Amino acid sequence: MNKLTIDDIQLKDKRCLVRVDFNVPMESGRVVDDNRIVESLPTIKKLLDSGGRVILMSHLGRPKGKRNPEYSLQPVATHLTKLLGEPVKFAPDCIGEEVKKMVNTLAGDECLLLENLRFHQEEERNDQHFSQELALLGDLYVNDAFGTAHRAHASTEGVTHFLQPAVAGYLMKKELEYLSRAVINPVRPYVAILGGAKISGKIEIIQNLMNKVDALLIGGGMMFTFFKAQGLDIGGSLLEADKVDLGAKILKDAQKRNIKLLLPVDCVVADKFENSANRKTVPVMQIPKGWMGLDIGQESVRLFREELHKARTVVWNGPMGVFEMDNFASGTIAIAKMLADLTKNGTITIVGGGDSAAALAKIGLEKSVSHISTGGGASLEFLEGKILPGVAALTDRQN
């Protein structure tokens, strides 16, 4: 990674303006999943231990540019206080005179969390004046919010035009190092597993990965559009009718370029979209009329296992079925367990956040893979080969 990090600069007595991703699930005014907060702790502790004056900024939810108590970061400040074991001050806004006073009275090794950036519509607009107001709060800028790095917002990109150096925190550094292994120089054989509901959300990642992987395994709802492209009857399964031609093109391209693209050979079907529905496993060529496929079957799991056991690098993004329903979670759980086993044997396993991360957490395997990305959309765009504005904006290391 050719960007400066917090290890490259002087931090003592500096006002460290830090973009974190504290967009965490909340219920009744309390944090119910603190993974993103916990992942930011190494950076925050490093800054505090180095005598920095730490000013944290984040968004939470979608308040649409208006102040809404439901999306206040106050409960996050309380939760962070418990995690750090020392007080975290809380500002009533993210810009303005009162905030400046709070920042300027911070001592070295003290921490302040600003109120939700998205209470101001200028944040998502990457407004120049708003960016400048944020920049006035710091002597240097740290981005540790990989999950927002694919957005050119005031707090991720705009602020860097007015505040330098702009450096990466430890979480940002870790994300980029792991994902770069999958994109730039993967240890081979390199296998990608893609699932989820629709091809439309994964077109670019499929096309980019086809230039890099040794094998591509496809499951989830998107598999039925591929089956339709092969002329199969998919019953009442999920279908993107306007993407059938694209599915056919992807299959043809893979064959032409001698890329191994594996689709499931059987699936678990149900007579309705409910956990309690009647269900059975059938070959993909024998889906009954009116029934819908909601998971991959055991023969497909075996097929995928054979390919994965050869791999030295694996990227996984998207569940194999409707894993939220226990009766249709077997395929996704099987993939999760395979990745845990591969990791033990030295394979680099990278999970692209979102539903795949949730599936690992559901069975207690979130610590059993090499890396789980905290940024679903950002990790997807990185794997698609796109430049992330929040990364590009950081200060380059001088060789």
Is there a catalytic annotation at residue 331? no
CA proximity to 329, closest of 349, 307, 301, 302: 301
For residue 364, count other CB atoms closer than 10 A to its CB. Answer: 10
- Which member of 100, 198, 260, 337 is catalytic? 198
**Whether the bond into 92 is cis, omega within 30 of 0:** no
**Token pair in block for residue 265:** 């050979």
- Which member of 138, 147, 219, 354 is catalytic? 354
Is there a catalytic annotation at residue 15? no
Q: For residues 173 and 153, is the Cβ–Cβ distance under 8 A? A: no
b/e code 143-172 from CB counts within 10 Å (16+ = b): bbbbbbbbbbbbbbbbbbebbebbbbbbbb
Residue in the structure block whose two tokens are 């598999």? 223
Alpha helix (H) ranges present in the chain? 35-49, 74-84, 97-104, 122-125, 128-135, 170-183, 203-209, 223-229, 244-256, 298-308, 330-344, 354-362, 376-383, 389-392
CA proximity to 216, closest of 225, 207, 229: 207
Three-state secondary-structure class, residue 141: strand
- Which member of 3, 15, 36, 151 is catalytic? 36
Is there a catalytic annotation at residue 236? no
Alpha helix (H) ranges present in 163-297? 170-183, 203-209, 223-229, 244-256
Residues 6+ apart with CB under 8 A from 193: 217, 218, 219, 304, 308, 314, 315, 316, 317, 318, 335
Is there a catalytic annotation at residue 181? no
Please identify every residue annotated as catalytic. Answer: 36, 198, 354, 377
